[in-house]
Amino acid sequence: MALTVKTQERDKGVYVAAISGRIDSNNYTTFEDEMQPVLGLSPRILVLDMTGLDYISSAGLGVIFHARKVVESNGGSLVMSNLQPQIRKVFEIVKALPKESVFESIEEVDQYLDAIQRKEIDGRDRS
C-alpha cells in the first residue's frame, strides 16, 4: 500500500497529519518531505492520526522522533492518535510511547485540546 499523508490545520496552530499505508526504508523520505512544511509553521500541537498506518520501520520512527524534537523545541507538543496494535507494539518495544501523548481517537485529542484551552483562558481571567 502506498504512503499518503494528508495535513490540515484544525485550529490556529493545531495541525493534524493523517497517515495511511506503510512507512518503510523505501518511502520514509516521502513522509519526511510531507512533514517539513508543517514543521516549518512551528505548530503548537501536531497530531499524527495513524488510523490508516499499517507498518512503520525504524526509518519512519526516526522521522517521527525528529518531528517531535522540532515541535518541542518551538514550545509545542506532538501527539499521536489511533495507533493500530502493530504500530503501538513497535513504539512499546523501543520504549518511545509516552502515555500522555497517545490518544485512542481524534475525539480524545479534541477533549485534551479543549482542556488546555480552558486552562489557558481561566489563567488569563485571573490576571
Give per-residue pLDDT as tens, 8-48.
999 899 999 999 999 999 999 999 999 999 999 999 999 99
Global model pTM greater than 0.85:
no
Containing 17, the helix (H) or strand (E) segment is strand 14-23
Cα 88 off chain centre by: 13
The percentage of residues in the chain with a pLDDT greater than 70, rounded to a whole number, is: 86
- Domain of residue 115 covers 4-125
Domain CATH number, residue 51: 3.30.750.24
The count of structural domains within the chain is 1
109 confidence band (pLDDT: 50, 70, 90): confident
- The CA-based angle 99-58-93, given to 5 degrees, is 40
Which residues have a Cβ under 8 Å from the Cβ of 39 and sit 6 or more positions away? 46, 67, 70, 71
Contact, 25 vs 56, CB < 8 A?
A: no
